[in-house]
Structure 1
Amino acid sequence: MLSIPDLIRKKRDGEELSDEEIRFFIRAVASKTIQDCQTGAMLMAIWLKGMVSTEITTLTREMMSSGEVMSWPEKWRGLVVDKHSTGGVGDKVSLVLAPALAACGCKVPMISGRGLAHTGGTLDKLESIPGFNIYQSAEQVLDILDSVGCCIVGQTETLVPADRVLYALRDATSTVDSLPLITGSIISKKGAESLSALVLDVKFGRAALYKDLQSAKELAKRLVEAGNRLGIRTAAALSRMDATIGRCVGNSLEVIESLETLKGNGPDDLMELVSTLGGILLKETGLASDLSEGRKKISEAVIGGAALSRFEDMMKAQGVAPQTARSLCSTSDYFSVLKKAKHQVELQAPADGLVLDLDGLVLAQVLQKLGAGRSKANEPVNHSVGAELLVSLGDPVQKGSPWLRLHYDDPGPSPEQSDQLRKVLVLGPNMPARNKPARQPLVAELLITDP
């Protein structure tokens, strides 16, 4: 007879758990026949002793099977795809990528999350659009994919219930950063979507979970291996997360920047990520012969307006009034639809110089405290709070020229927060254009392997 204390003791002592033992543990978690203290003890044992590849594969598969697993029509075989990001500042990639993929022939049942700490959540951004409903049943998701090709929704109660329990306890037991547990959590949810292909945007840098490339690469390898072992064609991009993605941070402002991108006016770094991640998925599904063609098709879908049309249709399918959706996609007067913060103030450059750095982590931390983010899972966010960067890396600025526009409600930033915001901008001496360092691409490395 298997017993939970025996399994905890075995993993505590560094032994490998069998498939049967992992299955027993996950089923106990999902059925809530295990005490929270026992689950927490097992999580800490896994954090301390780790897991080998076979254990991680079994953990992931059992988590995936703990609830509903989606199924799709046979005619969609090979075309159902998704993307996952490990979290960033100004990361609105999903809002552009999902409709672009749909315009290229993919089916995209994108299950996203809310923001926590300094990282913004895709669902929070979309909920700044009046009427946008992230809660869709499996039947509704199927209908939306059939008619539009993409949807962006929250995790349902019946999808991977074991992960809901484990994630809450990981937060409470300081085991969030365990590689096996991160892998199981991410890939089990994607496995439950019954995907054909998955791309992972694994970030590294000061505003990411992993600060250096090597640590992020280790996570990417685990994720790619686990996805491939579940039969999902899985690849990863390792991308820098030091500054911000694009120029806007904050829920409504990021929706605006996403819409501008879908209208062909997107910033280069955002389009780099969108085209690279989308290009990988088109290659993996056979809709493009190689990555270069995949990138080109995604860019054309965005610049040509096909992705914008899909985004409008997705909004209407997920509860947004047709007039509201049409207005957002056809006008630049976004605040006639989206909520605008009570106050806007521009920060001025303290001296002449060249923009050497823009600290995305500090900016995001201040905005979180002003209401754009949350510290606890169920806290509300203020969708109108955010910031627009008015300069980019490498730009020359003059003393007194505006470099950031802050959007905030009452109460405004404290003196300490204002001081922190001023530290976001790092200036250096001006230099001739020919001597300026070139912008580093966001994507540092790709990890693409076949199952």
Structure 2
Amino acid sequence: MRMYDIIAKKRDGRELTKEEIDFFIKGYVSGSIPDYQVSALLMAIYIKGLNKRETADLTISMANSGDMVDLSAIPGIKVDKHSTGGVGDTTTLITAPLVAACGVPVVKMSGRGLGHTGGTIDKLEAIPGFNVNLSIDHFTSIVNRIGLAVMSQTQNLVPADKLLYALRDVTATVESMPLIASSIMSKKIAAGADAIVLDVKAGSGAFMQNIDDAFMLAKEMVDIGNSVGRKTTAIVTDMNQPLGLAVGNALEVREAVDVLKGRVTGRLRDVSVLLAAYMLYTAGKCGTVDEARRLAENALISGQGARKLKEMIRAQGGDERIVEDTSLLPQPRKIIPFKADREGYISTIKTQEIGISAQLLGAGRTTKEDSIDPAVGIVMNKQLGDYVNKGDTIAEFYVNEEGRLAEALDIFHGAVSITSEKPERKPLVYGVVTSDKIERWQ
């Protein structure tokens, strides 16, 4: 078998066999197939596409390129949740405790943030002492004891994806639906969960800004998951403004605690409860989504979710007192208000730019080697459609180092539009994708 022939076959729009896909992935990971040939194949895939069978085979081959986590020592159906990335998206810190409190084990391997989107691992590391670097045995023992754990991805989890993504990033082949789907799902499959719920974002702060594209990606990933025996559901949600009010690691932990303690309502709470409901339903805990939603709501209202978060923090070495006193989280040196320069309605929030502003303050990375300041970020005081008077505080900037503050403020200013007309209200959830249907709610 020759890589040349595989490239030519896909260039001509023909279907690749499982053996050809395995040959390409194994050869690239081992170093026997050079970057320039893989680049050519990626471009051929970008232009000609992959069918559902090819995409599933690529996903499995990538998943098998490194560690395949065995969670059989954990009884019952294990559930995982994945977001395609956004700003102010702190749902894992809310959904995981709620679902575990309802008796379904939650197994979560997460990554770090890069660019304008935050990473769950960075948020958890804002909790003093919290350890995300667990062995699989330690991870398993924690889940067996308390029902959930969140750990950083192992170094050898899907090495093919790390190599392919770096190459896609420099060869203009990132925006390929089958390549995106196989990248995400290979990691979810390798991580060992039995059931997977995907939160696919659509809007100005999401990778998929077009709603139709978000549904296409959701369907692609759901088909992959179900084709390999992982019961998979996707929810398509809005990211045309930050999901929560907080953007920044300790700030987002504080907001998640506030939601679990019943102090905060709104978009973040609503999406978190919905995702928790679908996690319970997909894992077979409940016969209907409505029943699962009632169960998740009860876990939140009763305080069981907050208590389960405290258990997880304690089990992973963190300071559990932050659940009762969020002032124990890292604090900034100063808080600077961003005020409205006119009156009117907030008609646009360019969510990606909000994330970039927080990144410039130190809340995110430009490269994977950058360090993060857990205390800094932005807290939104206003949302889309809110009316503001001149001088009202739209947001607060939590700041330690002021070197790039002016740039962050300038980007934020360009990201928020104030007009005389109230904008049309955007839905929070666009729909749900399951193995047998695409259900659009809006």
Q: Matches of 2:49 and 2:372 in 1, distance apart?
A: 35
Which of the residues 322, 329, 332 maps onto 1:328?
Answer: 322
Partner of 1:155: 153
Matched-pair contact (CA < 8 Å) for 1:353–1:397: yes
**CA offset digits 1:137-187 (Å, max 9, x no partner):** 111111111012111112112322222222222223332222111111111
What letter is aligned with 2:341? P
Structure 2 counterparts to residues 339-354 of structure 1, below 5 A: 339-354=330-345
**CA offset digits 1:98-120 (Å, max 9, x no partner):** 11111111111111111122111
Q: Give the drift of 1:415.
A: 4.3
Partner of 1:382: 373
* Segment drifting more, 255-264 vs 345-354: 345-354
What letter is aligned with 2:287? S
Q: Matches of 1:318 and 1:40 in 2, distance apart?
A: 41
Matched-pair contact (CA < 8 Å) for 1:159–1:192: yes
Partner of 2:58: 59
Matched-pair contact (CA < 8 Å) for 2:71–2:193: no
Structure 2 counterparts to residues 297-316 of structure 1, below 5 A: 297-316=295-314
Q: Matches of 2:123 and 2:230 in 1, distance apart?
A: 28
Closer, same or farther: CA 239–317 of 1 in aligned 2, 3 Å: same
TM-score in terms of structure 1 length: 0.91
Which of the residues 427, 434, 437 maps onto 1:448?
Answer: 434
What letter is aligned with 2:390? K
Q: Does 1:421 align with 2:421?
A: no
Q: Does 1:207 align with 2:205?
A: yes
* Segment drifting more, 438-447 vs 266-275: 438-447
What letter is aligned with 1:385? V
Q: Matches of 2:13 and 2:124 in 1, distance apart?
A: 44
SS in 2 for 1:76: coil
Partner of 2:362: 371
- Provide the aligned C-alpha RMSD in A: 2.1
Partner of 1:262: 260
Structure 2 counterparts to residues 118-267 of structure 1, below 5 A: 118-267=116-265
* Segment drifting more, 419-428 vs 382-391: 419-428
Q: Give the drift of 1:376.
A: 2.0
Partner of 1:16: 15
SS in 2 for 1:266: coil
Q: Give the drift of 1:34.
A: 2.4
Q: Matches of 1:114 and 1:177 in 2, distance apart?
A: 21
Partner of 2:4: 5
What letter is aligned with 1:316? R
Q: How many residues align?
A: 437
Matched-pair contact (CA < 8 Å) for 1:347–1:402: yes
**CA offset digits 1:384-417 (Å, max 9, x no partner):** 2201111233333322222211012222445454
Q: Matches of 1:398 and 1:228 in 2, distance apart?
A: 51
Q: Give the drift of 1:450.
A: 5.0
Q: Give the drift of 1:83.
A: 1.0
TM-score in terms of structure 2 length: 0.93
Q: Matches of 1:75 and 1:136 in 2, distance apart?
A: 16
Q: Give the drift of 1:35.
A: 2.2
Q: Matches of 2:136 and 2:407 in 1, distance apart?
A: 47
SS in 2 for 1:265: coil
Q: Matches of 1:85 and 1:192 in 2, distance apart?
A: 17
Q: Give the drift of 1:15.
A: 2.0
Closer, same or farther: CA 444–35 of 1 in aligned 2, 3 Å: same
Matched-pair contact (CA < 8 Å) for 2:361–2:404: yes
Q: Matches of 2:420 and 2:171 in 1, distance apart?
A: 47
Q: Give the drift of 1:74.
A: 6.9
Matched-pair contact (CA < 8 Å) for 1:113–1:155: yes
Closer, same or farther: CA 299–439 of 1 in aligned 2, 3 Å: farther
Q: Give the drift of 1:220.
A: 0.9
Which of the residues 255, 276, 279 maps onto 1:278?
Answer: 276
SS in 1 for 2:262: helix
Q: Give the drift of 1:437.
A: 7.5
SS in 1 for 2:261: helix
Q: Give the drift of 1:261.
A: 1.0
Matched-pair contact (CA < 8 Å) for 1:275–1:296: no
Matched-pair contact (CA < 8 Å) for 1:207–1:241: yes
**CA offset digits 1:243-280 (Å, max 9, x no partner):** 11111101111111011111112331112211111111
Partner of 1:109: 107
Counting aligned pairs with the same residue, the percent is 39
Partner of 2:440: none
Q: Matches of 1:263 and 1:437 in 2, distance apart?
A: 32
Q: Matches of 1:96 and 1:414 in 2, distance apart?
A: 31
